[in-house]
Amino acid sequence: MNELSKKDLLIRQSLLQMAENGASDCIVLSGLRPFYKVNGEMVADKSLRKVEDRDFEAFFAQGGLTTSMFQNVRSGKEQIDLGYTIDNRRENVKMRYRFNFSAFNGRQSRMRLVARALPLQPPMPDEINVPPEIVEETMAAPYGVGVVGGATGSGKSTTLSALIRNIASQKPKHISTLEAPIEYVYDYVDTMVPVVQVEVGGNIESFSRGVEAAMRQAPDYLLIGETRDMATADGVLQFAETGHYALTTIHISTAAALFDRFSVFFSPEHRDGIIKKLISQLSFILVQSLLPKSGGGRVAVREYLVLDNQMKLELLGCSDTHDIRIKIGQWLNERETSFRHDADRLLEEGLIEPEIRSKFLYVIGDKGGK
């Protein structure tokens, strides 16, 4: 074993042991032993030694990270998100991870790696209980914008990847993705046409530049990993307006918050026009969160709406986003697709405890769900 692989062994070993420990995440901090997150609790791996900065440098050198990139992270100038696959044929192990690599300050600058284990292939929608109405809408609508919302770590990327896998397995369409990083890959699933995956920060500079490039490449479906700025938001709308289907994520806690969140990317004088564009192109809104599951693990709770033409006309008639929020809340309750209805279902099925339901509804401001 050469010197590089010796240094690489510690972090690699901690990643491989995630499954044995039933962990969703591995947190590696310089100067400490690796930690695993098991059912939301941090557990130290006492079988492994403390991690050194040199362990990070060697591990990421094998993953293609240059010395200058490593030094930029170490000095706090940037963070790096990337996908990583361990393919060890001798040990018959193949696993994929999503990494965030950064530095933090204590008494001195220290390195941090947060890794999440990912299946080698994305799930199908029914495997993660994506509402059938959402699945049907992505298959039937010729163009539009589908939005999956939620906080960081709420499973938005998994839901989008499941929808893309479902489309690719049944329709011979040109499908592209813009991701930061690429999490799920489609090489291990049957698709009618290969899915073209582009990594932001690797293959292209930014989401906005990726959307701009996609306009020239004319995919039928485009997954935009996150709408986080004006250029990307504007590109998403333009892509749908030209007769294509865009799927994207955005950080919102409820479906009713979408229009305020989307419009804030733009200057005040343009917001009314942007909201009208979004209403006209919006195909569906789905927002989700992950709750502690009875007996261990986590389970998704969701609220969603699929918009038809009559609903869009009613939203276009609203005077402001406050009226839009009220209208969306009414529809969610009428259709029983609100967070409260889904939390009640999870409670009835014994998937969550009563206190988990109450706490979640309190956090999202649902005063009617006590």
Query: Each residue of 228-255: pLDDT tens digit?
Result: 999 999 999 999 999 999 999 999 999 9
Residues of the chain by 3-state class (helix, strand, coil), percent to 5? 40, 25, 35
| Residue 11: partners with Cβ closer than 8 Å, 6 or more residues away | 28, 34, 51, 55, 56, 59, 113
Assessment of whether the complete model's pTM goes beyond 0.85: no
Average pLDDT, rounded, for the chain:
88
* Local confidence pLDDT in tens for the 370 residues of the chain: 333 344 447 888 888 888 777 788 899 998 899 999 887 788 899 888 999 888 888 887 776 667 777 788 877 777 888 777 776 554 555 677 888 888 876 555 688 889 888 877 899 999 999 999 999 999 999 999 999 999 988 999 999 999 999 999 999 999 999 988 888 888 878 888 889 999 887 778 888 888 888 888 889 999 999 999 999 999 999 999 999 999 999 999 999 999 999 999 999 999 999 999 999 999 999 999 999 999 888 899 999 999 999 999 999 999 999 999 999 999 999 999 999 999 999 999 999 999 999 999 999 988 655 5
Query: Each residue of 166-192: pLDDT tens digit?
Result: 999 999 999 999 988 888 888 878 888
Query: Each residue of 197-225: pLDDT tens digit?
Result: 998 877 788 888 888 888 888 899 999 99
In the chain the domains, ranked by start, together with CATH numbers, are 3-118 (3.30.450.90), 125-363 (3.40.50.300)
DSSP secondary structure letters along 208-252: HHHHHHHHHH--SEEEES---SHHHHHHHHHHHHTT-EEEEEE--
For tokens 């914008």, name the residue: 145
How many beta carbons lie within 10 A of that of residue 329, not counting itself?
17
CA 110 to centroid of chain Cα atoms: 27
